Amino acid sequence: MRFSWLLSALILASTLALLQHYALANLLYWYYPWFDTMMHFLGGLALASFGVALLAKRRTLIFLGAMFGIAVGWELFELVINAEREANFVFDTSLDLLMDALGMAVTYFAARLSIWRYA
C-alpha cells in the first residue's frame, strides 16, 4: 500500500515540476494570480505524500511540522531579499502558507482514512 503513496508522490512532484517550468516560461504567475495558490497546494500534497510513503504514522506528523517550518523559512527568505511582487505581500505570504498547510493536511487525513485506519 505504501508503494501507491510513493508512486502518487512521484506523479505529484513531476506534475508540479512540469507546471513550474511551463508557468515560468509563459509568465503564468503574473497573468493568473491564482496559479501560485494552486502550486502551493500541490506542493503541500506532494511533500506530505512523500512523508506518508516513507515514514511511520507518528514520524510523518513530525516530518510535516518540519516541512511547514521550512515553508515559513522560505517565506521569510523572500521577505529578506525583497522579493515582494505585490502590494499585499503579507496577505500573499499568509495565503501561501495556508495552502501549503492545507495540502499537507488533506494528505495526512487521507492517509488516516486509508492506510492508517486500523493501525
pLDDT digits (tens, 9 = 90+) for 102-115: 999 999 899 889 88
Neighbours of 103 (CB within 10 A): 23
pLDDT score, position 83: 65
Number of domains in the chain: 1
Q: Which of 58, 50, 53 is nearest to 119 (CA)?
A: 58
Measured N-to-C along each axis, helices 34-54 and 2-25 cross at an angle, to the nearest 10 degrees, of 150
- The reply to whether 119 falls in a domain is no
- The reply to whether 105 falls in a domain is yes
Of the listed ranges 32-41, 88-97, 105-114, the least confidently predicted one is: 88-97
- The reply to whether 11 falls in a domain is yes
Neighbours of 44 (CB within 10 A): 27
- Predicted model pTM: 0.86
- The reply to whether 50 falls in a domain is yes
Is the confidence at residue 85, as pLDDT, over 70? no
- Average pLDDT estimate for 29-50: 91
